[in-house]
């Protein structure tokens, strides 16, 4: 077959898949949420830290304060203000059955901003989650509803934009609704990994994954010379690292679709069309989690683990696990695409053989009594001083559970418990109860469970409440845990005030707040004895009060109290003049 015919055949395979998805959704109903061309810093379904990205991130030219408009007639159904997540977010329900969401806002339009502020003062809380009925705050298409910002867990100014099915609560790729991105750029495939499945399988004679160096010739990618044919025995599966760019951005974004073919037969495909928001943590089953932790690279594996329920897969044979026992050469092809139909193709060859395994890697944490934990069962593990309860469907696959104990570290009030390993992901939290020992009773309420970083950096607080003689908490990661005490109060550092200052010429009071270990739980600021609203931005350790009518002319008494999760309190007071 000629080169041109091959390309045309590929286009005919891919284009119907795109059209079928696009025809499900209205493409001329919604307008743009911004007044300038859409450029993306994040795509739908992108692999993020611990979740799939549930919308698109729209760049705002590097600044905050850009107008955000309603994409269609509707009504404000929900407003959330949170120090994390989407920060300040506004939800609009539309009469055609969809909900649009705009996250990381700087502020809301006047009527909503006033209502939210009133509720924050009524509840004496920065964080609020407010629901509304259809007739309370109607909006028109193109109406200003907010200004763009960097609030919540945002790494820079942008708009997080989603379109959801209102009834089903699923989030849908917004680019199916007629939004066009200037994109003539093919995705890039950076890495190919081949994994043996089970102890009797091998890749190039070894029972460990094999990473193949890639080179590009024309439109297609291949392994570098000398690596084109990989010898395998038994069952294997595959994974690739890939990203996408578009014309107006050099950001490395996620890809839309991945297909895998063996000898021209489609064996696996997935595309990022829609998923339930609650399913986004299933990303941990899609990615090579150990490789991510160790190398900070996101390898998308073409295997479906038993507890992976993402609705993105189609035409998957044998869960993505393939046997190559015959002594023949197989052609394997990856096709990676973006939503505009641009594609990259990686072709390589597999040679099947029956030579078996010449190298088996050492397995860390080998113990005398290994425990098998099924992913579809409730699992309980008990040893002296520790209880672990892993609920049904918290694991992605059946686990050969490993456990060991080390003596307490300096300042510790329990042994160090090595719970399996940090390279195995969990879908849900599990119960962890540890019995502290050797502590002064006066320290009882200062104790907490911590996770020890694999690089022996600062311990990560995991909390803990007393249940009899045990500290009990819920955690979502395996690793090394112990009990420490936190007796130090948080640190308060005024950024732009000091006692006796005249603040007439400034618009806000800014204070940085940090904590030594346990983490900040609450804060309370007052002016002249009355509660005032301070925005809390934990990614910058910043509290900010925008000076308003609650600060009177003349002398004012400002007070800030910050308490960590172990009850340690820090207080800052200052007399300020206006």
Contact 56, 41 (CB under 8 A): no
Do 495 and 477 have their domain in common?
A: no
- Classify strands 520-527 and 555-564 as parallel, antiparallel or unpaired: antiparallel
Q: What is the pLDDT of residue 4?
A: 35
357 strand-pairing partners: none
Do 547 and 510 have their domain in common?
A: yes
Q: What is the pLDDT of residue 356?
A: 57
Do 518 and 566 have their domain in common?
A: yes
**Angle, CA of 157, 158 and 161, to the nearest 5°:** 155
Domain, as residue range, for 461 = 371-485
Number of compact structural domains in the chain: 4
| Domain edge (last residue) among 157, 177, 197 | 177
Backbone angles phi, psi at 227, to 5 degrees: -120, 10
CB neighbour list of residue 92: distance below 8 Å, 6 or more residues apart: 70, 71, 72, 74, 75, 76, 77, 99, 100, 101, 102, 139, 145
Q: What is the pLDDT of residue 357?
A: 55
Element counts in the chain: helices (H) and strands (E): 4, 47
Q: What is the CATH number of the domain that holds 117?
A: 2.70.70.10
Contact 462, 475 (CB under 8 A): yes
Q: What is the pLDDT of residue 250?
A: 82
* DSSP class of 117: H
Do 118 and 137 have their domain in common?
A: yes
| Terminal-to-terminal C-alpha distance of the chain | 82
Q: What is the pLDDT of residue 286?
A: 97
Domain-embedded: residue 4: no
Domain-embedded: residue 2: no
3-state secondary structure of 367: coil
3-state secondary structure of 139: strand
SS3 string of 13-47? HHHHHHHHHHCCCCCCCCCCCCCCCCCEEECCCCE
Do 404 and 476 have their domain in common?
A: yes
CA torsion sign for 303, 308, 314, 319 is positive
Give rounded-to-5 percent helix, strand, coil for the chain: 10, 45, 45
Tens digit of pLDDT per residue, the chain (578 long)? 443 344 334 444 444 444 445 558 999 999 999 999 999 999 999 999 999 999 999 999 999 999 999 999 999 999 999 999 999 999 999 999 999 999 999 999 999 999 999 999 999 999 999 999 999 999 999 999 999 999 999 999 999 999 999 999 999 999 999 999 999 999 999 999 999 999 989 999 999 999 999 998 667 899 998 888 999 999 999 999 999 998 888 889 999 999 999 999 999 999 999 999 889 999 999 999 999 999 999 999 999 999 999 999 999 999 999 998 778 899 999 999 999 999 999 999 999 987 655 555 554 444 455 799 999 999 999 999 999 999 999 999 999 999 999 999 889 999 999 999 999 999 999 999 999 999 999 999 999 999 998 666 789 999 999 999 999 999 999 999 999 999 999 999 999 999 999 999 999 999 999 999 999 999 999 999 999 999 999 999 999 999 999 999 999 999 999 999 999 999 999 999 99
Give the whole-angstrom CA distance, residue 482 versus residue 463: 11
3-state secondary structure of 278: helix
Q: Which residue has the tokens 């743009």?
A: 32
Q: What is the pLDDT of residue 232?
A: 95
Q: What is the pLDDT of residue 5?
A: 40
């Amino acid at each position: 077959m000629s080169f041109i015919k091959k390309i045309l055949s590929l286009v005919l395979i891919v284009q119907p898949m795109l059209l079928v998805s696009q025809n499900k959704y209205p493409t001329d109903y919604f307008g743009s949420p911004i007044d300038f061309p859409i450029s993306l810093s994040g795509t739908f379904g992108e692999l993020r830290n611990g979740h799939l990205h549930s919308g698109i991130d729209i760049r705002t030219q590097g600044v905050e304060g850009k107008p955000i408009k309603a994409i269609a007639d509707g009504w404000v159904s929900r407003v959330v203000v949170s120090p994390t997540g989407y920060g300040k977010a506004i939800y609009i329900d539309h009469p055609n059955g969809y909900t649009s969401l705009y996250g990381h806002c700087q502020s809301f339009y006047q009527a909503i901003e006033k209502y939210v502020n009133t509720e924050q003062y009524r509840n004496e809380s920065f964080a609020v989650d407010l629901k509304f009925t259809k007739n309370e705050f109607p909006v028109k298409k193109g109406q200003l509803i907010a200004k763009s910002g960097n609030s919540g867990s945002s790494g820079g100014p942008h708009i997080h934009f989603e379109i959801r099915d209102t009834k089903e609560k699923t989030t849908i790729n917004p680019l199916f609704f007629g939004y066009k991105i200037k994109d003539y750029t093919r995705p890039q495939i950076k890495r190919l990994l081949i994994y043996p499945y089970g102890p009797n399988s091998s890749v190039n004679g070894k029972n460990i994954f094999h990473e193949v160096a890639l080179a590009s010739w024309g439109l297609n990618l291949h392994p570098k010379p000398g690596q084109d044919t990989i010898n395998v025995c038994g069952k294997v599966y595959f994974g690739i690292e890939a990203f996408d760019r578009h014309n107006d951005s050099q950001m490395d974004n996620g890809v839309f679709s991945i297909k895998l073919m063996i000898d021209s037969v489609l064996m696996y495909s997935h595309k990022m069309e829609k998923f339930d928001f609650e399913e986004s943590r299933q990303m941990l089953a899609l990615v090579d989690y150990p490789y991510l932790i160790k190398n900070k690279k996101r390898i998308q594996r073409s295997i479906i683990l038993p507890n992976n329920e993402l609705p993105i897969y189609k035409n998957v044979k044998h869960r993505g696990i393939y046997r190559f026992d015959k002594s023949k050469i197989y052609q394997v092809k990856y096709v990676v695409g973006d939503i505009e139909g641009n594609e990259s193709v990686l072709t390589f060859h597999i040679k099947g053989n029956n030579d078996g395994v010449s190298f088996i890697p050492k397995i860390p944490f080998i113990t005398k009594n290994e425990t098998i934990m099924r992913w579809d069962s409730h699992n309980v593990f008990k040893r002296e001083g520790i209880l672990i309860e892993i609920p049904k469907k918290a694991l992605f696959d059946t686990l050969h559970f490993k456990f060991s104990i080390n003596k307490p570290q300096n300042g510790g009030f329990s042994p160090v418990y090595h719970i399996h390993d940090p390279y195995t992901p969990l879908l849900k939290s599990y119960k962890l109860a540890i019995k502290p020992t050797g502590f002064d009773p006066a320290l009882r309420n200062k104790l907490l469970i911590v996770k020890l970083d694999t690089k022996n950096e600062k311990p990560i607080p995991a909390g803990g409440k007393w249940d009899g003689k045990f500290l009990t908490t819920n955690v979502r990661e395996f690793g090394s845990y112990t009990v420490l005490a936190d007796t130090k109060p948080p640190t308060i550092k005024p950024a732009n005030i000091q006692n006796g200052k005249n603040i007439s010429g400034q618009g806000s009071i800014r204070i940085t707040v940090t904590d030594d270990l346990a983490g900040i739980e609450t804060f309370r600021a007052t002016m002249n004895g009355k509660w005032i609203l301070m925005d809390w931005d934990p990614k910058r350790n910043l509290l900010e009060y925008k000076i308003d009518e609650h600060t009177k002319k003349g002398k004012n008494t400002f007070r800030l109290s910050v308490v960590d999760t172990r009850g340690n309190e820090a207080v800052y007071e200052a007399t300020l003049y206006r």
